[in-house]
Amino acid sequence: MKSNTRKTLDEFIIERQDDFQYSTGELSRLLNSILLAARVVSYKVRKAGLIDIIGAVGTTNVQGEDQQKLDLYAHNIFVETLVNREIVCGIASEENDNFITIQGLDQSHNNKYVVLMDPLDGSSNIDVNVSVGTIFSVYHRISPVGTPVTMEDFLQPGVNQAAAGYILYGTSTMIVYTTGFGVNGFTLNSAIGSFYLSHPDMKCPEDGNVYSVNEGNYVHFPRGIKNYIKYCQEEKENRPYTSRYIGSLVSDCHRNLIRGGVYLYPSTLKTPNGKLRLLYECNPMAFITEQAGGRASDGNRRILELTPTELHQRTPFYCGSKNMIDKIEEFIANEEK
């Protein structure tokens, strides 16, 4: 089917607006704002090799990670786009220590959504031309409309998400998102700046033969995870599995979502709570994966049911095909007996 006969994302958002009772269109406008920012960031990412925007800026974020120029650029684009459209009352970003309070142009705090995001995940891949991504998570505020946003608006369990998605700046630019009614993927036709429905109603295969983990940390993994990795490598049944690790969460999870597979970022001695952030990496990826029929766990509990206590808290993260996550939890449980 020619791309220009496929449904555009704008048409899709309007069509699906009726999924929400009493919809006022604000969530649709929010998603459209994220799309607009995604187009701008995509343009810069594609040009990064040609203009002086690659490399570190000499500062570090709250995680203590060197901030890349594109990290901060993406952060600023998404924040400016959302602030200027008076749809959200607050934003939390990997690039900011605290959350950002947003007042409307009428100086009110009448907006009802908060957005949490990793503006450019996998940024260490930028200067070696490997795909990177943006991850976002949307919640209805808890605090009263008309008052300034509070930390409790951001520290909600993942099951409360109103929407979640990622933009993948890969061989093509894609946005994949859910509002709780399934998962759909759209691919950007950069010649005309429109996203077209390329992956309708995405389903994560219950099984897969790919495992994604940084095996350089193997010696520091919990015993159960070491045993699971050896299980993946055994010559038995449909194994050995294939090891694929891009080092970019969005890319690894996107491949596993489509083909089946599992992504693992375990706790280690150095990082007892793992590396990945619960609020703006794990929860959105977990919401998307579950909506597509997969699973996401911290090894014992469903990611979406974890109660956050800090904005940038980390969690061990296992995400992908349902039966593979079940097997990981089985190996962990056997070692904890």
Query: Could you tell me the two tokens for 329?
Result: 């939890």
How many chain residues bind ligand P6P (CB under 6 A)?
Answer: 10
Of 123 and 179, which CB lies nearer to ligand P6P in the complex structure? Answer: 123
CB of 32 to ligand P6P, least distance (A): 26
Determine if 290 is a binding residue for ligand P6P (CB under 6 A).
Answer: no
Binding region for ligand P6P (CB under 6 A) out of 16-24, 100-108, 201-209, 245-253: 245-253
Determine if 255 is a binding residue for ligand P6P (CB under 6 A).
Answer: no
Binder of ligand P6P out of 121, 290, 298, 329 (CB under 6 A): 121
Find the Cα–Cα–Cα–Cα dihedral 326, 117, 71, 276, rounded to 10°.
-30
Determine if 214 is a binding residue for ligand P6P (CB under 6 A).
Answer: yes
Query: Could you tell me the two tokens for 302?
Result: 């469903």
Sheet architecture: strand order including 317-320? 242-243, 210-212, 262-265, 317-320, 295-297
Of 111 and 248, which CB lies nearer to ligand P6P in the complex structure? Answer: 248
Tokens 């596993």 sit at which residue?
256
Q: How far does Cα 96 stand from its chain's mean position?
A: 17
Binding region for ligand P6P (CB under 6 A) out of 70-78, 118-126, 168-176, 306-314: 118-126
Q: Compute CA distances 215 → 55, 261, 274, whole Å.
A: 26, 16, 14
Determine if 115 is a binding residue for ligand P6P (CB under 6 A).
Answer: no
Question: Long-range CB contacts (< 8 A, 24+ apart) of 72-76?
Answer: 73/41, 73/44, 74/41, 74/44, 74/119, 74/120, 74/134, 75/119, 75/120
Of 124 and 313, which CB lies nearer to ligand P6P in the complex structure? Answer: 124
CB of 2 to ligand P6P, least distance (A): 34
**What interhelical angle do 26-47 and 9-16 show, nearest 10?**
160
Of 66 and 207, which CB lies nearer to ligand P6P in the complex structure? Answer: 66
Helix (H/G/I), strand (E/B), else coil: 334: helix
Of 202 and 285, which CB lies nearer to ligand P6P in the complex structure? Answer: 285
Of 243 and 334, which CB lies nearer to ligand P6P in the complex structure? Answer: 243
Of 194 and 251, which CB lies nearer to ligand P6P in the complex structure? Answer: 251
Contact call for residues 174 and 204 (beta carbons, < 8 A): no
Residue 297's region, left for phi above 0, alpha for psi from -120 to 50, else beta, is beta
Closest CA to 164 of 175, 156, 153: 175
Query: Could you tell me the two tokens for 96?
Result: 């900011």
Determine if 275 is a binding residue for ligand P6P (CB under 6 A).
Answer: yes
**Cis peptide upstream of residue 272 (ω within 30 degrees of 0):** no
Q: Which residues are annotated as a binding site?
A: 94, 118, 120-124, 214, 245, 263-265, 275, 281
Query: Could you tell me the two tokens for 171?
Result: 């061989």
Of 214 and 323, which CB lies nearer to ligand P6P in the complex structure? Answer: 214
Binder of ligand P6P out of 137, 156, 248, 256 (CB under 6 A): 248
Determine the Cα–Cα distance for residues 10 and 12; give it in Å rounded to an integer. 5
Give the up-direction half-sphere exposure of residue 276: CA atoms within 13 A in the CB hemisphere: 31
Binding region for ligand P6P (CB under 6 A) out of 82-90, 116-124, 182-190, 301-309: 116-124
Q: Which residues are annotated as a binding site for substrate?
A: 121-124, 214, 245, 263-265, 275
Binder of ligand P6P out of 90, 119, 122, 222 (CB under 6 A): 122
Determine if 3 is a binding residue for ligand P6P (CB under 6 A).
Answer: no
CB of 250 to ligand P6P, least distance (A): 7
Determine if 124 is a binding residue for ligand P6P (CB under 6 A).
Answer: yes
Q: Which residues are annotated as a binding site for Mg(2+)?
A: 94, 118, 120-121, 281
Determine if 247 is a binding residue for ligand P6P (CB under 6 A).
Answer: yes
Residues in the site for ligand P6P, rule: CB under 6 A? Answer: 121-122, 124, 214, 247-249, 252, 275-276
